[in-house]
Structure 1
């Protein structure tokens, strides 16, 4: 159980939950409590609607503000990897080496066990995430020290003025270089709602994607290629979905790996040695390696690198030392 102080959380009712009873909304959106617990929390005024006490059967409207104040020890969260480090610190931002198995923001069952909460608790200060990495992904991530500078950095991301590189491990002998361009959107052939796919023509709501891959090394005994990745667009699951669509699944990937139903197995029964052995690792082998940008407030050029996470270094032979340390 985390010792990090619990925070209050707010959400706004989206249009697809208009006319839902409060208790049904809470169960659907926030599954870390069961129905009985949510009813108790509502009745004890730990849940407020637009700042006011409520009752479980209240019918919600689009835009209603839901405020939730957790009770101590009321949320049973999974364990996390707390072994983060600070790569660099400037007046307006810090650069963090995120370990695998820790979410950046509160989500799902993770409310206090997050990198943001851990960082704020350790440093005794408030920080503002600028971008995100998946829970399983390791590597470099940026936090602003003020809300105003977060907007500065987010504009750089939107204008594609922040350059990022990743390292990933895939099955198969990858070409020396591959530039993949197309459109990304929901995978029409998948039963998993959030799964994306790359295609050469748009199906309507798809977003254009452009990703460059370069081969770092290939281990013929394990049939694993190590790649340096430069995403020129920033779409959800862009790297993993692109590699899957190109025929090179990421090692350890439950959703874009060798078997899609591995993700469903994980959701239903959690991690297992058998599943990890099948996928090749206990997490998706994706690492945010570098990040570069010019600070528009100082004109300073910033170039940061994050050595490959230690749990990935043994997965393939002949990885050049410049990526390891």
Structure 2
């Protein structure tokens, strides 16, 4: 079972590891986060947002169709605050907002997309940023950081293969350096603010420590 961050009658929040797809319809995988959670709690679960297979961190499943609709509306309307930690190439500005259209899904038309970021650590040739996407587009954080010439380490799609191999061989960074650290919203049925956080997993924590990243 995936680590459970919160569980109540209408939704469950888990900590997804890197390498596990969320939903078979998005990946074709026989085993996904949906299967893991469904089998562990013994009831149907509904995916309401996407995390890339390579991304770890906070993931929400609704537990009935009405709750799924409520969460999907919240995500679509930007009423959920999402924060990601991303280790990127180069020294970024201290903070900024990226406005650049990207598709909602593979092969789809480009639509407006916005991501704010704040640098939380800098090295000689690297930066760790807290990225906050204000929309939900395909590979949004990865595409937007690449757009400003700061691609993520370990990114096979938008990064540099030679650099990725170098950090894998020297520091053991064998995955995408992107972690969904927190997700916050007004509880749909109680109206109170809630925030769920996932600690940095060992497959990022240990390489970050060897690289010298300070969080």
Give the TM-score normalised by the residue count of structure 1.
0.59
Instruction: After TM superposition, give the deviation of residue 90 of structure 1 in Å.
Output: 2.2
Shift of 1:281: 3.0
**Aligned position for 2:119:** 215
Residue equivalent to 1:270: none
Residue correspondences, number: 210
Q: Aligned to 1:224, which of 119, 126, 129?
A: 126
233, 245, 256: which is aligned to 2:135? 233
1:131 to 49, 61, 78: 49
- C-alpha contact (below 8 Å) 2:22/2:53 kept by paired residues: yes
Distance 1:301 1:194 in 2: 33
Whole-Å separation in 2 of the counterparts to 1:160 and 1:185: 16
Q: Secondary structure at the match of 1:157?
A: helix
Q: Does 1:177 align with 2:95?
A: yes
Give 5+ residue unaligned stretches, structure 2.
none
3-state secondary structure, aligned to 2:49: coil
User: CA, structure 1 residues 254+278, in 2 after alignment: closer, same or farther (shift >3 Å)?
Assistant: farther
Partners of 1:279 and 1:310 in 2: CA distance = 13
Matched, 1:301 2:193: yes
Return the match for 2:152 from 233, 242, 250.
250
Q: Map 1:1-325; keep pairs closer than 5 Å.
A: 84-106=2-24, 107-111=26-30, 113-185=31-103, 194=106, 205-220=109-124, 223-259=125-161, 276-277=168-169, 281-313=173-205, 314-315=207-208, 316-320=211-215
Contact kept? 2:173, 2:203, Cα under 8 Å: no
SS of 1:161's partner is coil
Taking the aligned partners of 1:303 and 1:108, their CA distance within structure 2 comes to 28
In 1, Cα distance between the equivalents of 2:161 and 2:171?
8
- Contact (CA 8 Å) 1:251, 1:280: kept in 2 or not? no
TM-score norm. by structure 2 comes to 0.87
Please list every run of at least 4 consecutive aligned residues from structure 1 whose deviation after the TM superposition is greater than 6 angstroms: none
Root-mean-square deviation over aligned CA pairs? 2.7
**CA pair 108-318 structure 1, distance change in 2 beyond 3 A:** closer
Task: Point out which structure has higher relative CO (alpha carbons under 8 A, 6+ apart).
Answer: 2
CA distance in 2, matches of 1:274, 1:259: 9
Cα distance change on mapping 1:88 and 1:108 into 2, 3 Å: closer
Q: Is the 8 A contact 2:76 2:135 kept in 1?
A: no
CA 1:303–1:226: 2 relative to 1, 3 Å:
same
Shift of the 318–254 alpha-carbon distance from structure 1 to 2, 3 Å rule, reads closer
* Partner Cα separation in structure 2 for residue 139 and residue 318 of structure 1: 19
Residue 282 of structure 1: CA displacement? 2.1
Q: Secondary structure at the match of 2:204?
A: coil
